[in-house]
Amino acid sequence: MTLHISQRGKQYLKTAQTLLRTAKTMTDQAIAGRLKALADDYERRAEKASRDDAAKALARSAAALDQQPA
């Protein structure tokens, strides 16, 4: 299944990528590990945001169809 990534999801992914790039430059492995965990969280948020945004768009479309005259 192909998942369309919403604009909000793209922003979360961009943040996750930034965190991962920063983690790679860290010499302190404890901080790098925390940054990687935070990046994972942002990736999950991106997936959830995209699913939620798609569901909202579908609901809006269904509502618009219901309001059209028969």
Percent of the chain residues past pLDDT 90, beyond the cut: 69
Q: Is the pLDDT of residue 63 over 80?
A: yes
**H-helix segments, 1-70:** 7-25, 29-67
Taking the whole predicted model, whether its pTM rises above 0.85 is answered as: no
Model pLDDT for residues 27-39, shown as the tens digit of each residue: 999 999 999 999 9
Give the C-alpha separation, 5 to 15, whole Å: 14
Better pLDDT: 26 or 2: 26
Residue 4's closest CA among 58, 42, 40, 68? 58
Residue 13's closest CA among 4, 24, 2, 26? 4
| Residue 1's pLDDT band (cuts 50, 70, 90) | very low
